[in-house]
Structure 1
Amino acid sequence: MPLRARWALAAVLIVGLVILDLTSRKLPVPQRDQLIPQEVFHEGMPLGLFRFGVEYGTGWRTLIPSAGPYVVAAALLAANRPWWQAVLVGAAFGAARAAAALQLILAGGDGLTTALAAHRRALERLATVVAAACVGAAVL
């Protein structure tokens, strides 16, 4: 498919995902709609983080509440870059997820979780808008 056609299709998909995310109470995209339970951390943080990573990374239990990763995936497909660049993007996504868990641990309790939960959907929507803006800036 020609480059312009790929990017035009990706742009339509990305705009649609942003609109869907901003107007939906819960993101209706294909995924395994099951959160990883907090019980994975009851046997200690190192084992809990390992279990979380395995379950999340393999898709065993995955809930992606924001269209942001789908926006990035559409851009990666449109860009048709070498496979290792997509792996780097996936690693960056995983590192960001790990950083969030590490912040929770360093905060030493549920305070951060409670604070974030109060604004969860707004933060999820913001992530989608930021992802789309980054893709747009990279393309331009």
Structure 2
Amino acid sequence: MFTVGLLAGGVLTAGVLWLLSGLFTPLPAGVRQGLIVAVALLAALRDAGKLSLRLPQNARQIPQDVLRRHLARGALQFGFELGTGVRTYVSASAPYALAVAVLLSGGSYVPALAAGLGFGAGRALTPALRRLSGDGERWDGLLARRLSGMTVLCSVLITAAACAIFP
């Protein structure tokens, strides 16, 4: 249920951004593409530690009592709220760059849907891999050592994807 909520939340957020993207279609495609690339580059620079930039976010965690009321519904709600990226902390810049790309693209809904599913799946991947590792403490240590590099890599990949996918 948690993963279903994550995917649904990601798709909802991407869908709203895609719907709002119609407001930006009067801007020339070159201007929109330039803005997408500029934001993606800012995200990569921020994640590389070369630029100090506050992210617009609700930097708090979803209350744990959501899970206590009813386990299945709570897991779905918790996942949904986490999947939207609106009621929780998002430390990396790449999701913001991708959100801007969806917002400014004004194109097909397919890349927006893929972005929403990708965000939800990415958030589901972390707890799944930790559980599958068999040793959560060791996994946490490995993640802590590699997180900075992984974050920068994701920002660079989002920049490349934004250039390729969103005309």
**TM-score (norm: length of structure 2):** 0.64
Letter in 1 for 2:159: A
Q: 2:100 aligns with which of 74, 79, 102?
A: 74
The correspondence of residues 87-98 of structure 1 with structure 2, limited to 5 A, is 87-98=113-124
The total of aligned residue pairs comes to 139
Partner of 1:34: 60
Bigger relative CO (Cα 8 Å, ≥ 6 apart): 2
Counterpart CA distance in 2 for 1:78 and 1:25 is 23
Matched, 1:17 2:43: yes
On the 8 A contact 1:65/1:124 being kept in 2, the answer is no
Offset at residue 33 of structure 1 (A) = 1.5
Q: Is 2:118 the counterpart of 1:118?
A: no
| Separation in structure 2 between the aligned mates of residue 49 and residue 69 of structure 1, nearest angstrom | 22
Identity of aligned residues (%): 29
Report the residue type matching 1:8 in the other structure.
Answer: G
Name the amino acid aligned to 2:147.
R
Question: Structure 1 stretch 94-103 or stretch 51-60: which is displaced more?
Answer: 51-60
Ranges of 4+ aligned residues in structure 1 off by more than 3 Å: 24-27, 35-42, 45-52, 58-61, 82-85, 137-140
Change (3 A) 1:22 1:114: same
Aligned Cα RMSD in Å? Answer: 3.3
Q: What SS does structure 1 have at the residue aligned with 2:48?
A: helix
Report the CA distance between 1:57 and its aligned residue.
2.7
1:137 pairs with 2:164? yes
Higher mean C-alpha deviation, range 102-111 or range 33-42:
33-42
